[in-house]
Amino acid sequence: MNRSTRNQTLMGWLLLLPAMAIFALMIFYPFINSIFISFTNRNLLYAKSAFIGFDNYRKLFSDPNTLFLIWTTVKFVFLATLMPFAIGLIWALLMNQKFKGSEFVRGLTLVNWIIPGIAIGFLWSWIFNGDYGILNALLGKLGLIDKNVIWFGGKQTSMLAVVTARTWQMFPWYMAFIMGGLQGVSNDQCEAARIDGVNNLQMFRHVIIPAIKPVLILILLLGTIGNLQHFDLINVMTGGGPERATSTFATEVYKKAFKEYSVGRAASLGVIWAMMLSLFSIFYLKRIKED
């Protein structure tokens, strides 16, 4: 190795040290430790635990609820990513028209994102409440319903409530990214397309979308990962119910570990989840691969 390469290597690693230290300590070590725990019957209440081999995994695979859990997670992640994405996209296009006050409106929209998640959870639990929520009051006054709808009682409607709250919280974030991307759409391209005689819809499909495609793919990926981890709103609004209709991997791992005290079982659930995600991540990595 010549001097310059050695310098490169040294410098490179040096700069990386803080990140690697934090990563090793806070993520790598706990993850490896979790794998070990998944092979034990570790319980939060007791200090001692015993090695039980693949027992936890066996129990998980033979439990019919596990498959349903995967399905519900996929359903939630899909809806909770798609909805705010769509609304964020439309809103970004609207804000991009740069009308008077659009910057202020834009900023005000971002406020949704920074309101503490627990407050959002309670706010939307309140709105959707069957007996004293404003949604039912409105629907009742408009004559659309003749009996209070118990939104959190139904499986589909609970999912609707949770996805709505998450959409409200996250669409500003999608909007911001897309707006960033829209700034980069060159005017020349638009001019050229106009001269060619395209209409608005064609402009959207053939000029704008291709120009911001990298951004769109990026935020869909980041959004998906964020929703896979998401826990707060579901926990506050439905606790994963009713009948597990809104239970995702994240809420279930928490419940198993901190409420039911089955740390070993929770760990095995988490490991399965991580394995499934590595498949997904390989796809993500291919996306950012370069030289």
Phi, psi (deg, nearest 5) at residue 13: -65, -35
Residues between 56 and 85 with contacts to another protein, criterion CB under 8 A: none
Q: Report in angstroms how near the CB of residue 206 gets to another protein at its nearest.
A: 13
CB of 131 closer than 8 Å to CB of 148? yes
How many amino acids of this chain bind another protein (CB under 8 A)? 139
Q: Within a 10 A sphere around the Cβ of 241, how many other Cβ atoms?
A: 16
Q: In whole angstroms, how far apart are CA 231 and each of 56, 71, 219?
A: 23, 16, 19
Q: Which is nearer to another protein, 75 or 157 (CB)?
A: 157
3-class SS of residue 186: coil
Residue 257 near another protein by CB under 8 A:
yes
Residue closer to another protein, measured from CB, 67 or 281? 281
Cβ-contact 70, 78 below 8 angstroms: no
Complex with another protein: residue 57 or 122, whichever CB lies closer: 122
Residue 11 binds another protein (CB under 8 A): yes
CA distance 50 to 263: 12
Q: Least distance (Å) from another protein to the CB of residue 53? A: 18
CB of 10 to another protein, least distance (A): 8
Instruction: Work out which of 21, 67, 192, 209 binds another protein, going by CB under 8 A.
Output: 21
Contact 170, 111 (CB under 8 A): no
Answer yes or no whether residue 147 interacts with another protein by CB under 8 A: yes
CA angle, residues 9, 13, 19, in degrees to nearest 5: 160
Q: Given the rule CB under 8 A, which of 50-58, 74-82, 254-262 is the region that contacts another protein? A: 254-262
Identify which range of 49-57, 74-82, 90-98 contacts another protein by CB under 8 A: 90-98
Q: Omega of the bond prior to 210 within 30 degrees of 0, cis?
A: no
Please give the residues from 117 up to 136 whose contact with another protein meets the rule CB under 8 A. 117-119, 122-124, 126-127, 129-132, 134, 136
